[in-house]
Amino acid sequence: MLLACLIAAAPADAADPVTYRLKWLCNSSTVGDLYADVHGFFAAAGLAVEVRAGGPERDAIKELELGQAQFGVASADQVIRAAAKGSPVVVIAQIFQVNPLQWIYRASRPPIDDLADLEGLTIGVTYGGNDETIMRTLLAKAGLDDRDVTLMSVRYDFTPFYRGRADLWPIYRNSQGIVIADRMTRAGEPVRFFNPADFGVRYVANSVVTHQRLLETRPDLVRRFRQALLQGWQAALDERNEAQALETIARFDPDTPPDLLARQLRVTRELVRPTAGFAIGRIDVKAWRQSEAIMRGQGLIPEPVDVLARLHGPEEP
Amino acid sequence: MLARRTYQFLIVYAAGLALLLGLKYLAGLSDYVIPGPLLVWQTFRDVYGRYAADTLNTLSVAVLGQIVSICLATAIGILGRQTTWFGNFVKVAAYNVQAYPIVALAPIIFILLGDGFITRLVIAAMICYFPLLLVVLGVMSEPVVEIEHFYRITGRMRWQLEVKIRAFENLHKLTTVVAGSATLAMAGTIVAEFIAANAGIGYSIRIALYQSDLGKILVALFHIGISLSVYQALLEWAGARVQRRWEAAGGDVAS
């Protein structure tokens, strides 16, 4: 009987402790990560995962090297910069297929149907940030440079955009985008979004990363983690589970009203699972190649890093 | 004084850098987490000039911010020294305002004043002002009984004289806190640049953080440390000079 009890208790005791560092605070962008944890997907895979919220001062890749986390979420530019400096980071899944980093603008101004329409506009960019890299790529594609537009430095608040001092303002489409669009529409100023992917710039956003050593020494642990995580994302974005998914986000993001959370979830679904039946987590190799080429072209990395060698996830067929 | 301040800083900086490099090689960390000496040197060469200009820009705002905060702290300290209802009110209000963290107030300042010079100046002055105010209030509220008594019984006491006596008797304390508050003025300006500016070393640090470039941050810290050491040494020198001149004049506060 004692033996039976021990055997029954064994799976729980044997759960592998794992720390998973997110890129940002818990919101709709992390619904699958939270869902996998709260709804027992990790536990079922024999993992005791501690999901830690990210933030502006957090860098999952550094934590992987320091041994403070085993898995994390990082953007493509972080991965490529880290690879350029010899970091042993590898990508095991790509969550966002469409980059949520887009630009918001007032619907009252002419729509941006062509990149040449950017000429003469005042555009918000975060100097040193992803959005600067993306916008400079778009401007180069349009044959424009700094003299043809006015770039305005972006900080934490949206005042310059609200006041009309900027025409375009960078925004995370599925989180801030919903909140700001709602606020402006209620104030009688409907908005549109400018998505760089519509103009051929597919700069990869958040991906799941781990340490090369962990992949080599414990491939089974990496496989179980990835599988449980992607199952969590799949379930969270399944329309049939929408109520549970919303309830999960609301536990971690109580300040966002339920109707906005629902809209954020729907947009997140489009960015992570662009088509019904899409296998979540698939690595978009072409987009990674383009991301590296963009960074190389702008002198953000001194030489090629062969980022494709860092991709160890399910690839686009 | 200047040489001592500078080499003391260099010792601290070198020790910090050695600690980081020790950790890097001990834990086998890549240049992404902690850059190696070669990369730090390359970064130093690449951004030295630009960061030096940024640091001077920040220092100039910090010096102005410190002057503003000294004026403000002196004015409020003089008003708050009185044991009247108004004096007490000023003191309580000044203490209460201290409770608000500047990072919470910064967005409001940003909305009211926009980005740029004035915002940096206001935030620098606010961060620097609180400790100065505490010392000025403490000094100005404490009567120097043995000297003030004479002027009171002879009917010659005026508020200006009272302020002079108390300042003179605590001159060393006041000059020390003014020199020390330079650090806070610099920190305040950097915080302001971090939140709401397009210039200065704080802004450059923000960009370096976006790029996860610790090498650039180390260069920025070097510039900040050096410039602050020089500025503090100058303040200490000026403080000592004022003190000597006042003492040479025989401490004639009534004149």
Through-space distance between the first and last CA atoms of chain A, rounded to whole angstroms: 51
Q: Which residues of B touch A127 (CB under 8 A)?
A: 207, 210
Over the stretch B185-212, which tens digit does the pLDDT of each residue have? 888 888 888 876 778 899 899 889 888 8
Q: B151 lies in a domain?
A: yes
Q: B103 lies in a domain?
A: yes
Q: B29 lies in a domain?
A: no
CA distance linking residue A142 with residue A56, whole number of Å: 31
Segment 110-129 of chain B within 8 Å of chain A by CB: 110-111, 115
Q: B195 lies in a domain?
A: yes
> What is the predicted pLDDT for the residue at A13?
58
B75 touches chain A (CB under 8 A): no
Contact assignment for A85 to B32 by CB distance below 8 Å: yes
B211 touches chain A (CB under 8 A): yes
> What's the whole-number average pLDDT of chain A?
90
CA distance linking residue B142 with residue B255, whole number of Å: 22
Q: B241 lies in a domain?
A: yes
Q: Which residues of A touch B30 (CB under 8 A)?
A: 65, 82, 85-88
Of B33, B115, B211, the CB nearest to A62: B33
- The parent domain of residue B94 ranges over 43-248
Q: B253 lies in a domain?
A: no
B214 touches chain A (CB under 8 A): no
B207 touches chain A (CB under 8 A): yes
Confidence of residue A148 (pLDDT cuts 50, 70, 90): very high
CA distance linking residue A162 with residue A119, whole number of Å: 21
Over the stretch A12-29, which tens digit does the pLDDT of each residue have? 457 899 999 999 888 899
CA distance linking residue B62 with residue B123, whole number of Å: 10
> What is the predicted pLDDT for the residue at A7?
43
Written as six digits, the tokens of B183 are 């650090």
What is the ipTM score, two decimals?
Answer: 0.82
Q: Which residues of A touch B111 (CB under 8 A)?
A: 157, 159
Pick the closest to residue B32 from A11, A69, A80, A173 (CA basis).
Answer: A80
Q: Which CATH number fits domain A101-199: 3.40.50.10790, 3.40.190.10, 3.40.50.11270, 3.40.605.10?
A: 3.40.190.10
Of B29, B196, B210, the CB nearest to A129: B210
As for how many domains chain B has, the answer is 1
Over the stretch A231-267, which tens digit does the pLDDT of each residue have? 999 999 999 999 999 999 999 998 889 999 999 999 9
Q: B119 lies in a domain?
A: yes
Of A87, A155, A156, the CB nearest to B30: A87
Q: B56 lies in a domain?
A: yes
Contact A63, A23 (CB under 8 A): no
Over the stretch A201-233, which tens digit does the pLDDT of each residue have? 989 988 999 999 999 999 999 999 999 999 999
Is the CATH number 3.40.50.720 carried by domain A16-98+205-310? no
CATH number, domain containing residue B218: 1.10.3720.10
CA distance linking residue A172 with residue A24, whole number of Å: 12
CA distance linking residue A191 with residue A113, whole number of Å: 15
